[in-house]
Amino acid sequence: MPISNIISTILTSATPPTSSVLLEIDKVRKLQVVSPVPADIDIANSVEPVHISQIAKELNLSPNHYDLYGKYKAKVLLSVLDELQGSEDGYYVVVGGITPTPLGEGKSTTTVGLCQALGAFLDKKVVTCLRQPSQGPTFGIKGGAAGGGYSQVIPMDEFNLHLTGDIHAITAANNLLAAAIDTRIFHESTQSDKALFNRLCPPNKEGKRSFSDVMFRRLKKLGISKINPDDLTPDEVNKFARLDIDPNSITWRRVMDINDRFLRKITIGQGPDEKGMVRETGFDISVASEIMAVLALTTSLADMRERLGKMVIGNSRSGDPVTADDLGVGGALTVLMKDAIHPTLMQTLEGTPVLVHAGPFANIAHGNSSIVADKIALKLVGPGGFVVTEAGFGADIGAEKFMNIKCRYSGLTPQCAIIVATIRALKMHGGGPAVVAGKPLDHAYLTENVALVEAGCVNMARHISNTKSYGVNVVVAINKFSTDTEAELNAVQSAALAAGAYDAVICTHHAHGGKGAVSSYFLSLTFEQQRSHRPHQCFTFSQKYRILNYKNQ
C-alpha cells in the first residue's frame, strides 16, 4: 500500500478517483530510479535543483518575502506570518517513530517521501518541515539527516553542513554568554563595589550616569525602584553590581558543533593573567545549547529576546538564580540570532518545498523543528494543503514533546500522527541480537522470522497507545527494506491495527521516491469536507503543577 494512503486515512476514507485529480506527467520532475538504490550522495548529485526563487514562487512568495543564500537556499522572513495572519491553515501532520535502533528507522526519509508523493504526484500544496542536522552526527557513524534514497532534501551536502549558518550563530551566542559568566566572576573577585558600579554605569561627559534598559530588569528583580544611578545607597550598589555567582552552580557550558570527546571536561583559567581563577567546565555539542531550544520554541523576535534574557546560567552564593539579563547580555544574544530566527527554504528531489529550521535533540531538549517554520508553512499551503513535520527520536520522546511542549506553545493541533516502524527495529525489540552502528547486521535481520517480529510489536503497540492519548489518529508507516518479507510485513500491519492504529501502510519511497508512493490511480481526498471536525488535543500534564508534583505521582 503506498504512502499516499497515509494521508487518506488521517481523517476519512478517500472518495473514488476522478479525472480532475490526474496530473500532467510533465509537471513532475522525473527521477531516474535505478535498482539497487545507489548511495544517497550519488542520488542527490544526479538531480539538478531548480533555483530556490522558483520554489518560493510556487508558494506565492515574492522576493520581498525572502533573502537569498546562493541559488538553492533562502531565508523566509517572519513578516510573511504578519501578512498571512488572517489566512486559514492547512492540515498538520507529525511524523514520529517506534523506539529506533542506533541506525535510525527512516523518519526523515518517510517525511520527505510523503511530501514528494503529495506535492509531485497528488498535486497538493505541501511543505516539509525538518530540523537542521548537527555536524556531530553528520561526521559520525549516523550520518546526515536529509532523508535517504530517492526521498531527500537537496542540495544534500549544503543541508547537512553549514546551511545558512544558524547553528554557527547559536554557537557564537552560547559562547558569548559563557565568556560573560567567567569575565563577571573575574571582575567581581578583583574589584570594589565602586569600581564595578563605574564599569556598569560610567558617567558621561557631563558627569551623569544612566541605567540601560536591561539594567532596569535587574533593578526590578532586586526590588529597587530608583531610576537614577546616583540615588542608589551603598547597599543597593552592592546588590546591583555583584551577581556573586557560585562557580560550583554554573550549568552553562561552552559548545561546538562537532564531536570532540576530549573537550567534554576541561579546566579553564590557567593563563597567568587569570589570577588563579581556575575551574572545571566542558563543551557540549551546539545543538544541545538552550539557545537552540529557545529558537525552536520562539514565536517572534521580541519573544526570542525575552526567552534568551530569562535563561538561567547558575545561582548566586545565596541561592538566587542568575540569568543572561542579570549579566546584561540578553540583547547581544538576540543580535547574534537575528538572522537565525528565519526558516530556510530548500527543496526535495522532486521539487517540493522544505522549510529547515532549528535542530534540538529530543533527549536533552524537545526534539522538533521550529514553531515559526510550521506556522509559516501552514499559512503558505492554505486550506486543503499539508504541512508534514518531523519529531525526533521515538514517539515517546519527540512526539510526546511535540504534543505537550511545542503544540502547547504554538496553539496548533495536528490532524494525524504517523509512526514509522521497520522490521529491523521490531526484530530487535522482539529479542533479536544487538544492532550496533558500524557493524554488519546479524543474520537474524536478513532472513524471515515472523515470530521475532510479532514479539517486537509490543513496542509499536505502546507507541500507538501513547500517541492516541493525545487525541489524534495514528497511522503506522512501515518503512520497507529489501530483506523484508510479505509475511513479516503482514504481521506488522495486523499488529498495528489490533493496537488501535487507524491504518498501517507499507512504504517504498526510499527505493522509488514519489512515484513509488502513489498508487495506479490518484486519490480524490475529502479532507476539505472535514475541516470542521478537527481532533480535540489532550495534553498529558497540566502546567499548573510543579515538577515536584510529577515526581510524587
The pLDDT of residue 529: 34
The pLDDT of residue 360: 85
Same domain assignment for residues 198 and 55: no
Same domain assignment for residues 103 and 119: yes
**Extended beta strands in 385-493, E state:** 386-390, 416-421, 473-479
The pLDDT of residue 517: 63
The pLDDT of residue 550: 52
Same domain assignment for residues 67 and 124: yes
Same domain assignment for residues 329 and 400: no
The pLDDT of residue 421: 96
In a domain, 145, yes or no: yes
Angle formed at CA 491 by CA 486 and CA 493, multiple of 5 degrees? 95
Angle formed at CA 145 by CA 508 and CA 109, multiple of 5 degrees? 15
Provide the domain count of the chain. Answer: 2
Same domain assignment for residues 233 and 382: no
Greatest Cα pair distance, the chain, in angstroms, is 86
Same domain assignment for residues 412 and 348: yes
pTM metric for this prediction? 0.90
Q: What is the pLDDT of residues 30-70, one digit of tens each?
A: 788 999 999 999 999 999 999 999 999 999 999 999 999 99
In a domain, 235, yes or no: yes
Closest of 133, 130, 128, 154 to residue 391, by C-alpha: 130
Same domain assignment for residues 112 and 241: no
User: Taken in order 515, 518, 521, 523, is the CA torsion positive or negative?
Assistant: negative
At 506, which helix (H) or strand (E)? strand 503-507
In a domain, 10, yes or no: no
Residues (pLDDT < 50) of the chain are 1-7, 9-27, 519-533
Same domain assignment for residues 322 and 346: no
In a domain, 453, yes or no: no
For 162, 352, 381, 417, 432, the CA distances from 77, given in Å and listed in that order, are 19, 19, 16, 28, 48
The CATH number of the domain where 416 resides is what? 3.40.50.300
In a domain, 531, yes or no: no
For 115, 133, 145, 163, 172, the CA distances from 356, given in Å and listed in that order, are 14, 9, 11, 9, 20
CA distance 466 to 70: 43
The CATH number of the domain where 197 resides is what? 3.30.1510.10
Same domain assignment for residues 206 and 127: no
In a domain, 260, yes or no: yes
Q: Which domain holds residue 275?
A: 167-337
In a domain, 464, yes or no: no
C-alpha cell belonging to residue 165: 549558518
In a domain, 246, yes or no: yes
Single residue among 307, 337, 367 that ends a domain in this structure? 337
**Under 8 Å between Cβ of 348 and 128:** yes
For 42, 49, 513, the CA distances from 34, given in Å and listed in that order, are 12, 19, 11
The pLDDT of residue 362: 81
Same domain assignment for residues 123 and 51: yes
CA distance 425 to 429: 6
Same domain assignment for residues 305 and 350: no
Same domain assignment for residues 172 and 87: no
Single residue among 287, 310, 337 that ends a domain in this structure? 337
